[in-house]
Amino acid sequence: MKNKKMNKPSSENESDSEEELSPETHKKSLEKLKKIDPDFYNFLEENDENLLNFEDDSADDASDKDEDDKTHIPGPITGDSDESDFEDEGAKPVQGRVTLKMVAQWQAELQGDGKIKLKSLTTIIKVFNAAMLRATSDDGTTEGEFKVEGSSVFNAVIQMCVLYLPAAIKKYLGMEQSGKDPQKCKHFIKIKGPLVAYLKDLLKLLGGITSDNILTVLLKHLHQMSVYVACFNSISKQALKKLIILWSNSEETVRVLAFLCILRITRNQQAALLNLVLKAMYLTYVKNCKFVSPSTWPGINFMRRSLVEMFTLDLNVAYHHVFLYIRQLAIHLRNAIVVQKIENRQAVYNWQFVNSLHLWADLISATSNKPQLQPLLYPLVMVITHTIKLVPTHQYYPLRFHCVEILINLSKESDTFIPVLPFLVEVLTTYDFNKKHKKVSMKPLDFSCVLRLAKSQLAENGFKDSVIDRVYGLLLEYMANQSYSIAFPDLSLLAIIQIKQFLKTCSVSNYTKRLRQLLEKIEENSKFIEKERAKVSFALNDEKMVAAWEARIKTKGTPLLTFFESWNKVNKIQKRKKITKNDEIAGELPMIKRPKIMETEDKVPKPENKGPLVLFPSDSEGEEDNFKLGEEEEEVEKPKKVKTKKKANKKKENKKETKAEINVPDKGDVVQDFSVRDW
């Protein structure tokens, strides 16, 4: 009872304290204070405003408390970090977020034996779009139905679409067995919209990747999807634009895959796209063959061969392009002939012009069995021959050899006689090979990547060696191609006369030896043809009988042809070795040849009576570029120049040697300047 009585006042005190602490009672007491003691109230108002604004502070505290309660509510973290790759099974799923489990389910649907639903295809395409937006957006955020977060999920989505989506679309359209046009399928209208969106995203992804390995995978996927790309004209043009860039500038496998995609897309929509593709590819080819080097030759050759294949798709369409571009080359050549100016000459004597001639010659050679492009053979040959005659000087011998090589191949493939011999024999008669060279070069000059030679290169002995090599090889190839002709003894007469004249005038044994061997082979072959021709009973104007006789001789074999085949095998092996050696040299770091360094002054060699002391031997080999002597070193070397021809000057030599010995400390300084630590 006592405890109960004691508890009552405590509860009353608590209630009283709560009333006292309440804002209403506090406000009433402040109003009373204002009436009773206004001076004290003014003092509080000036110095302690928080006491008077008690209600506002309590309201702010309550709101802060509510905000704190809100911010500390636990929830799933959706940041794009590396931890997002590892999924927490216990975490609540975020709406629209793609997980690996979802990707696995979609992949199972695509691989399943059952019927593919349109909803699942559109969902997968939307997820691919979300992945693309995630990869291309600046801040990494996406606004859409799905969100792809984490690298593992992104890779899984791309892998699923690349590997399994083309087969699933075929299955949905019913194109698994019959290779009919997708536009004729009854379900194509339903999937048309999602398919356009997917192809646009795929092209975006293709344009933003630089890795060759990933590009090969995506190009293989695009090659599978090219059937659907051809259904949409705008997407086809976008795809071809990007593919032509890859075809001209990328790594070898990427180039090949890009060309296969171009070929397949163009074939599926040939009437609408062929003209645009041929023009764009030719301009890209000309743009990328401006500079030629051993490393760029394979790419230029690939572009030329693939362009020939594209032009052969429709020769009637190709004729207009080929005629227009050969006419353009002829106009440049005419301007250079009529207006003798350097800029007009440079418009012809460049790699773009020569590679264009090479392209059209290859195209006419490849279509020699079809009549559409054969009328363009004569104008092309005239352009090539007048290109040689434009500036027939020694400096442009490399360009002459390139043009002659084009004519030889064109004559062989088209089975047409082209007079090439005068351009080769002219080299032997116009240049004086007995003239002594002013410079010595260790190797012959390589004409494969050169059109014009500098005047300093003409003074080297390697120039004459290279010219004889090219004349020998091209003469042998041309005569071997004509070796089974019934008119070979008459064709070879000019070559025999000019080679005999060269052998009389030239005194260089290395050159005469090679051309004498060639002369013997040509004479042997002409005797062989004369013997076979003596057995002929038909008239020479009977073209069919002449063609049959030449075919029989060709299958039987001629002495010159068998010699050329064996020589050509060896020559190709030597060219491959040169290419591989050049690649190895290009991969190595430049080496500086340094003289041996003497560690102490005692080991410095004293000058002998045989000749002067040489710090840097074999200056003729080009080491003067690697080392430049200072003023002090030049002073050391000046007194070393001694004439040792006469024995009477030995005393003078000894005096000069003593002067050189006095400057030994300077030599020691030179050795210290070239110490190993300084390099």
Q: Which residues of 212-225 are buried (b: 16+ CB within 10 A; e: fewer)?
A: eeebbbbbebbbbb
**pLDDT digits 0-9 by tens, 108-147:** 888 877 777 888 888 888 888 888 887 776 555 556 677 7
Confidence at residue 10, expressed as pLDDT on a 0 to 100 scale: 43
**pLDDT digits 0-9 by tens, 601-620:** 444 444 444 444 333 333 33
The backbone torsions φ and ψ at residue 397, rounded to the nearest 5 degrees and listed phi first, read -60, -40
According to the per-residue pLDDT averaged within each range, which of 554-568, 588-602, 663-677 is highest? 554-568
User: Higher pLDDT residue, 79 or 340?
Assistant: 340
Q: Once rounded to an integer, what is the mean pLDDT over residues 501-512?
A: 92
The backbone torsions φ and ψ at residue 439, rounded to the nearest 5 degrees and listed phi first, read -125, 155
Q: Which of 335-339, 373-377, 643-647 has the lowest mean pLDDT?
A: 643-647
Q: Once rounded to an integer, what is the mean pLDDT over residues 230-249?
A: 93
Q: Which of 247-261, 264-278, 371-385, 597-611 has the lowest mean pLDDT?
A: 597-611
Q: Which residues of 248-257 are buried (b: 16+ CB within 10 A; e: fewer)?
A: bebeeebbbb
For residue 147, the number of C-alpha atoms closer than 13 Å in the C-beta half-sphere is 15
Confidence at residue 634, expressed as pLDDT on a 0 to 100 scale: 41
CA distance 261 to 607: 73
The candidate with the shortest Cα–Cα distance to 492, out of 519, 528, 511, is 519
Q: Per the structure block, which two tokens stand in for 301?
A: 């050759």
Confidence at residue 71, expressed as pLDDT on a 0 to 100 scale: 38
Residue reference for tokens 């002998």? 608
8 A C-beta contact, residue 131 and residue 181: no
Confidence at residue 493, expressed as pLDDT on a 0 to 100 scale: 92
According to the per-residue pLDDT averaged within each range, which of 148-162, 163-177, 235-249, 605-619 is highest? 235-249
**What's 537's DSSP letter?**
-
Confidence at residue 57, expressed as pLDDT on a 0 to 100 scale: 47
Residue 236 CB burial class (10 angstroms; 0-12, 13-18, ≥19): buried
- CA Rg value for the chain: 44
The pairs formed by 47-55 with CB atoms below 8 angstroms and a separation of 24 or more are 54/23, 54/26, 54/27, 55/23, 55/26, 55/27
Quick check: pTM over 0.75?
Answer: no
Confidence at residue 589, expressed as pLDDT on a 0 to 100 scale: 43
CA distance 629 to 616: 10
Rounded percentage of the chain residues whose pLDDT exceeds 70:
71
Confidence at residue 651, expressed as pLDDT on a 0 to 100 scale: 45
Confidence at residue 236, expressed as pLDDT on a 0 to 100 scale: 93
Sequence-distant (6+) residues with CB within 8 A of 540 are 486, 546
**What's 294's DSSP letter?**
T
Confidence at residue 20, expressed as pLDDT on a 0 to 100 scale: 43
According to the per-residue pLDDT averaged within each range, which of 257-261, 451-455, 673-677 is highest? 257-261
